Amino acid sequence: MNKEPQNASPLRSAILDCLPGIAGIGLFSAMINILALTGSVYMLQVYDRVLPSQSVPTLVGFTIGMLGLYAAYGLLDFVRLRLLVRIASRFYCSLQQRTFAISLLLPLRAGREADRVLPLRDLDQLRGFLSGTGPTVLFDAPWIPFYLLIIYMLHPSLGVLATFGSVAVVVLTIVAEIISRRPAALASEAILTQRALADSGRRNAEVVHAMGLSERLAGRWGEVTHAYLSYQERLSDIVGGISSLSKALRMVLQSSVLGLGAYLVIGGEASPGVIIASSILLGRALAPVDAAIANWRGFLSTRQSYSQLKAALRAFESPIESMKLPPPEARLAVDSLAVAPPGTPRPTLIDVSFQLSSGAGMAVIGPSGSGKTTLVRALVGVWSPLHGTVRLDGASLDQWDAQRLGAHIGYLPQDVELFDGTVADNISRFGGKSDPQGVLAAAKAAGVHSMIMHLPAGFQTRIGEGGRALSAGQRQLIGLARALYGNPFLVVLDEPNSNLDVEGDAALAGAIMAVRQRGGIVIVVAHRPSALTNIDQVMVLADGRLRTFGSREEVLAGMRRPPSPAAQRPSSIAPIHSGVTGHA
């Protein structure tokens, strides 16, 4: 059997990190369960010594001792719960950064299925379970045989009855586990669908309201909710039925122990104190089982969350630390690139190859669905290629550490997403306030400095979640400034002028020229001709394939000319010059 690498199971590492605290929980649980004998011993002494002797001082002495032991019991139980909370927090802190990073990567690897995997929710579910009373069941359950043994010592017949009753209750618990597994999984799946639908409705609230989709979405919501409630009702019926049966069986068992104890007292085989003591001990023995049934939904949810989080951590295990590479400064090379959206096997970009040298500016044009956005997402490392490579100065993107690579790439997507924070935070990529000059330089390069200064608090203006305090054009310009921050070598802009006015177009053209003049490479996906200003190379994509690649003048002139019969046949692409090469 092969041994797993240490970094293959961060979940196990987090658990091992909590082992000292878990050992402390075990020690406190042992002391608590021993002190739990206080009630049985007290009643045994009262019935067998105090009542026959009619001694008040003896009763007072036993009562004082009982109060002291119960005080210690309460204190230890309180400390155990506090320790559980801190173990849960330590466990959460050990995994929270890695889990958050996975939640950011999921949409890039799993596509639409990412909405059904919620590692942060799973981690929070585990933390909530660990900080509650649920784990105490796991520490108290091993003490069931200890209490049964004490009952055997009081009288073997009582011990046999208590054992059979305990086994019956435990079997009921196992049955509950088996028959509730599928309804619990179906209910969890339904609630994920329900949440995804609700999130989608909120994100598209404007479209829903403007196009009168509320009733239709409400109808779909009702169908999903009906399925969820059906599974929940089935799960509740199972857990509730087992709980009621277990409760009735426990009451019958305790009454039977009282009756058997009375019979043994009448026959002179036991003392009167045995009747009460055995009943209290049996109740304590069955307490972990009762607690397990009462918390059964929490156990089911926690087990499912554990499995899902373990699978997510394993799927996104920490890569081997990459060697630090020098900043790229010479060229971008793409070789036989084929890319498919995450979660789909069919590529939307096939066999694309080209090279760009330092100082180049390239526009990517083509009809909708031609693969333009797929290309730029592969160029910045957002989507992984099915085959082929993207290289910066000879090193493929997977040879770079993601954090270091991000400093050399500027990316402006079609849908500009800004984060809740200040304008300066967003431009600096939340790098703190240590580089105000860099923020100012990026804002000036994007031509957005003047606009920012007219905001209520300038660069310290909070823009709200998604940048809702700004117009679409302002968001796009601030996104451009973020892409230019730190003077990255490769700047990729996907339809950067879709929301810009004439001044914005001029600022964009100036930013493109500035990147080229300092030796960077600019790639622009364009639908409007104004985005081609200060661009020297043009790539034409169609049906996911590279059709033409060359200088702007040649490509645009060729697009204006009617196609000749020879051009309609497959052929090699246009000649490339200015230090730029390419092939289909």
Rounded to whole angstroms, the Cα distance separating 3 from 493 reads 45
User: pTM of whole model > 0.75?
Assistant: no
AA letter at 392: L
pLDDT band of 70, cuts 50, 70, 90: very high
Rounded to whole angstroms, the Cα distance separating 365 from 363 reads 6
pLDDT at 215 over 70: yes
pLDDT at 569 over 60: no
Residue 211: partners with Cβ closer than 8 Å, 6 or more residues away: none
pLDDT band of 76, cuts 50, 70, 90: very high
Q: Return the C-alpha torsion angle 42, 44, 45, 46, nearest 10.
A: 80
pLDDT at 58: 92
- State the number of CA atoms in the 13 A half-sphere of 86 facing the CB: 12
Report how far apart, in Å, the C-alpha atoms of 250 and of each of 145, 189, 213, 274 are.
17, 34, 54, 19
Over residues 301-315, mean pLDDT: 83
pLDDT at 135: 86
Beta-sheet pairing, 361-365 with 537-542: parallel
Residue 363: partners with Cβ closer than 8 Å, 6 or more residues away: 523, 524, 525, 526, 531, 532, 535, 537, 538, 539, 552
pLDDT at 561: 63
Rounded to whole angstroms, the Cα distance separating 531 from 513 reads 12
Percentage of residues of the chain with pLDDT beyond 90: 16
Three-class SS string for 208-225?
HHHCCCHHHHHHHHHHHH
pLDDT band of 320, cuts 50, 70, 90: low
AA letter at 34: I
- Structural domains in the chain, sorted by start: 10-314 (1.20.1560.10), 331-559 (3.40.50.300)
pLDDT at 322: 61
pLDDT at 577: 36
Over residues 87-101, mean pLDDT: 89
pLDDT at 111 over 70: no
pLDDT band of 530, cuts 50, 70, 90: low
Instruction: From 358, 347, 321, 299, select the one nearest 516 (Cα to Cα).
Output: 358
AA letter at 68: G
Place of tokens 């209750």: 169
For residue 338, the SS3 value is strand
pLDDT band of 65, cuts 50, 70, 90: very high
pLDDT at 249: 85
pLDDT at 1 over 70: no
pLDDT at 203: 67
Rounded to whole angstroms, the Cα distance separating 335 from 352 reads 7
Rounded to whole angstroms, the Cα distance separating 181 from 174 reads 11
Tokens of 239: 């857990």
Report how far apart, in Å, the C-alpha atoms of 13 and of each of 23, 191, 240, 308, 495 are.
16, 30, 36, 17, 45
Residue 236: partners with Cβ closer than 8 Å, 6 or more residues away: none
Tokens of 401: 């550490």
* pLDDT tens string 328-361: 888 999 999 999 888 777 888 998 999 999 999 9
AA letter at 380: V
* pLDDT tens string 15-44: 888 888 889 999 999 999 999 999 889 988
pLDDT at 319: 59
437 neighbors 495 (Cβ within 8 angstroms): no
Our CA angle for 54, 58, 64, nearest 5°, is 135
pLDDT at 521: 92
Q: List the single range of 7-21, 247-261, 374-388 with lowest mean pLDDT.
A: 7-21
**Mean of pLDDT over the chain:** 82
Over residues 287-309, mean pLDDT: 80
pLDDT at 532 over 90: no
Instruction: From 480, 327, 330, select the one nearest 412 (Cα to Cα).
Output: 480
Q: What is the DSSP letter of 316?
A: T
Q: What is the DSSP letter of 530?
A: G
pLDDT at 225 over 50: yes
> How long is the chain?
584
Report how far apart, in Å, the C-alpha atoms of 290 and of each of 101, 280, 398 are.
39, 15, 53
Q: Give the largest CA-CA distance in the chain.
A: 120
pLDDT at 580 over 50: no
DSSP output for 228-273: HHHHHHHHHHHHHHHHHHHHHHHHHHHHHHHHHHHHHHHTTSS-HH
Place of tokens 């590492």: 13
Rounded to whole angstroms, the Cα distance separating 307 from 107 reads 20
* pLDDT tens string 515-525: 999 999 999 99
* pLDDT tens string 433-488: 668 888 899 998 888 888 889 888 888 888 877 667 788 888 888 889 999 998 99
Instruction: From 376, 370, 375, 431, select the one nearest 403 (Cα to Cα).
Output: 431
For residue 538, the SS3 value is strand
